[in-house]
A and B are shown apart, each in its own frame.
Chain A
């Protein structure tokens, strides 16, 4: 009886130890991969056309979903914000409410989530399929480093695209709020824009929002290229890697957003 209990405990400890060692090994591998990609930065920018091409694929081709989403998020924010603000006679503050919500939080976060779903998954699938069809191996055998030729340009394409997409998301959001607040509901345009101009601080609000979107861009792009490069070279492996990119990126964005918000916004401009 005692022997079987001890054996069970030993087996559990072995599994736990094995799992921990495997997790640390994976973390080490992922870190080494990340460092290697960053070290290939000069290669990515030496072949500027490759990085520009990736900015086109990750950024320009994501424009439709980002712009349309930004417009609707801004319109909904205006409707919801007006509903609350008018109870306290502060409907003229709608502009500043929408602008702060967008540049501080919704712009970087929602644009990041959309970017992870649209561009992150595409990057993972593309690199994963290149691996599954031996294109990466072929490149290695041609004495061309896939990290420099394939991975680094895609990583930097994502990093550059993400803040621009977040800025466009916020801009269209503000425009959507203007359409609903001023054109539909009838708030005075002077109050709408004036309060917004007075209430939004460039350094405190906009720069912090941009920093968030840069951090999210780095996180999503790194997760996307890593999952693609690490994908099992099968149809199922690529599918799993793509799903992991979206899930991990989304969780990373939400977790990082909380951490960054704690450090950036502590209740005073």
Chain B
């Protein structure tokens, strides 16, 4: 049985061609720490998952990478550039090389599916409308929704909306796509479709993918490497094979879906008995 690597170990060694690097990153709101000592490296072209329970700081990591938040200490590098040190223009230039799929798609509700995908192309390129049309249809074809181009977001199912959002995220052929809970709330078929699309996009277009999720089963099928985050710290990392074979209590609780364990079932509270008979 292979054991999971300790956090920050050499399973994903530092290389010059890493798409994303976080070094000892700490972040918090006021006095409340959210992330502590986060170190991770995402190789170019790889599909990497960040897993952990709700509210453990997973999405915050994506926002640090996208430059929407600034770390209190540590380094955040995307394509070798230090994100917190970028000025507004440089940050926007960096974001043009980056796509993000939000938890519920975040499609623009006043635009059709077609317009949603054409949006970034129109904002950032001077391509003629005929070429934009072809590109939009190609992106929609890649996610199987070319026939839905004229629909409005309100007419889409959750799975379709996620696929449209994926097509929008790759509209400018980014080098990195960040996925925030891409599987949340999807039926099993949609879940499988979205998972396979993430893998296929990565392989076909050479896109680096960083998937924040708590869906163990689907993630293990598509990712190359996983980080487990709990209470704002990376507590384990490794390949899907390492995770399946792991004896680590947290990883086992997470993978097996146990209600109690290192992550307790009960929210911290005074002793049950003393509270029940408090008036006696």
Q: Which of A140, A142, A145 contacts B120 (CB 8 A)?
A: A142
Complex alpha-carbon distance, A142 and B67, angstroms: 12
In this complex, what residue of A is CB-closest to B88? A145
Q: Tell me whether A133 and B95 are in contact in the complex, defined as CB-CB below 8 angstroms, given that A140-B68, A142-B123 are known contacts.
A: no
Does any Cβ of A come within 8 Å of B106's Cβ? yes
Q: Which of A122-167 contact B (CB under 8 A)?
A: 129-130, 133-135, 137-138, 140-145, 149
Complex alpha-carbon distance, A94 and B98, angstroms: 67
Hey, which chain A residues are within 8 Å of B98, CB to CB? 141
CB of B47, distance to nearest CB on chain A (Å) = 19
Sorting the interface of chain B by its residue count into under 10, 10 to 19, 20 to 34 or 35 or more gives: 20 to 34
Complex alpha-carbon distance, A241 and B220, angstroms: 42
Q: Which of B68, B108, B124 contacts A141 (CB 8 A)?
A: B68
Hey, which chain A residues are within 8 Å of B68, CB to CB? 137, 140-141
Hey, which chain B residues are within 8 Å of A144, CB to CB? 119-120, 123
Complex alpha-carbon distance, A52 and B251, angstroms: 55
Compute the total of residue contacts between A and B using a CB distance below 8 Å: 45
Say yes or no: A134 contacts B120, CB within 8 Å. Answer: no
Q: Tell me whether A142 and B102 are in contact in the complex, defined as CB-CB below 8 angstroms, given that A133-B109, A135-B109, A137-B68 are known contacts.
A: no
Complex alpha-carbon distance, A128 and B103, angstroms: 18
Does any Cβ of A come within 8 Å of B96's Cβ? yes
Hey, which chain B residues are within 8 Å of A133, CB to CB? 104, 106, 109
Say yes or no: A137 contacts B123, CB within 8 Å. Answer: no
Say yes or no: B95 contacts A137, CB within 8 Å. Answer: no
Complex alpha-carbon distance, A144 and B92, angstroms: 8
Say yes or no: B93 contacts A143, CB within 8 Å. Answer: yes
In this complex, what residue of A is CB-closest to B94? A143
Hey, which chain A residues are within 8 Å of B240, CB to CB? none
Complex alpha-carbon distance, A140 and B123, angstroms: 12
Say yes or no: B123 contacts A141, CB within 8 Å. Answer: no
Complex alpha-carbon distance, A129 and B102, angstroms: 15
CB of B228, distance to nearest CB on chain A (Å) = 25
Does any Cβ of A come within 8 Å of B182's Cβ? no
Complex alpha-carbon distance, A133 and B107, angstroms: 8
Q: Tell me whether A141 and B104 are in contact in the complex, defined as CB-CB below 8 angstroms, given that A133-B109, A135-B109 are known contacts.
A: no
CB of A125, distance to nearest CB on chain B (Å) = 12
The interface bits of chain B over 137-176 (1 if a CB of A lies within 8 angstroms of the residue's CB, else 0) are 0000000000000000000000000000000000000000
Does any Cβ of A come within 8 Å of B100's Cβ? yes
Q: Tell me whether A138 and B100 are in contact in the complex, defined as CB-CB below 8 angstroms, given that A133-B109, A143-B124, A144-B123 are known contacts.
A: yes
Report which B residues bind A (CB closer than 8 A). Answer: 66, 68, 92-93, 95-96, 98-100, 102-104, 106-109, 119-120, 123-124, 178
Subset of 11 A-B contacts with CB under 8 Å: A133-B106, A133-B109, A134-B106, A135-B106, A137-B102, A140-B68, A141-B98, A141-B178, A142-B119, A142-B120, A145-B92
Q: A129-B109, A138-B102, A142-B123 provided; 10 other pairs, C-beta below 8 A? A: A133-B106, A135-B109, A138-B100, A140-B95, A141-B68, A141-B95, A141-B178, A142-B95, A143-B124, A149-B123
